[in-house]
Amino acid sequence: MKLVTTGKMAYQLYLDDGHFAGSLIYKDACFDTAEIFTDSAYILEKSGAGNWVTRKNGEAMILVTSWVELDGKISIQYGTGMYSFVKPINWKPRFCLLNSQQEEVAAFIPTINWELNTCNFSIQLNEEFSNETEAFLILQALHCAVCGMAMINGLTIPAIGNLNG
């Protein structure tokens, strides 16, 4: 899979064969609301301080819940599965999606995109967990990577709000 940054708050996901797999498009600069498109349209919205829920567009049932933990880890509950999204403690800018056994499912490596004033993300998928790397989950993890970069850069701290007023 390949991630492409198409705007300051817009990302597209492509399969290895070049076919479109989905997109994540934020509606505001605070990452409170976004649209996710894969096989269907979904709405990702803030549900409280450092909490987000994702629903299928027009439906009430929550498909994914994610929240920021006190240690900066972001937990993701998707169906019956639990995932965590962490930045390993080292100098490398890298974010990891871990399954409930704390095994790395995917890694996101950010690079600065000066032209769009945002970050590009390269994705590395662990082939052992290819059954867990569907586009919908990868786009949820991308949301965590975007929030993680914002926290590192001091732009927005989802758990306590915007630092810049």
Length of the chain: 165
DSSP-assigned states of every residue in the chain = -EEEEEETTEEEEE-TTS-EEEEEEESSTTSSEEEEESSSEEEEEEEETTEEEEEETT---EEEEEEE-TTS-EEEEETTEEEEEE--SSSS--EEEE-TT--EEEEEEEEEETTTTEEEEEEEE-GGGGGG--HHHHHHHHHHHHHHHHHHHTSEETTTEETT-
Q: Which residue numbers in the chain have pLDDT < 50?
A: 159-165
pLDDT of residue 115: 86
Domains belonging to the chain, first-starting first, are 2-160 (2.40.160)
Please give the model's pTM, rounded to 2 decimal places.
0.85
How many other CB atoms are found less than 10 A from the CB of residue 11? 25
pLDDT of residue 157: 52
pLDDT of residue 162: 40
Instruction: Please write the tens of the pLDDT for every residue from 102-134.
Output: 999 999 999 888 888 888 899 999 888 877 788
pLDDT of residue 73: 85
Distance between CA atoms of 108 and 111, rounded to whole angstroms?
10
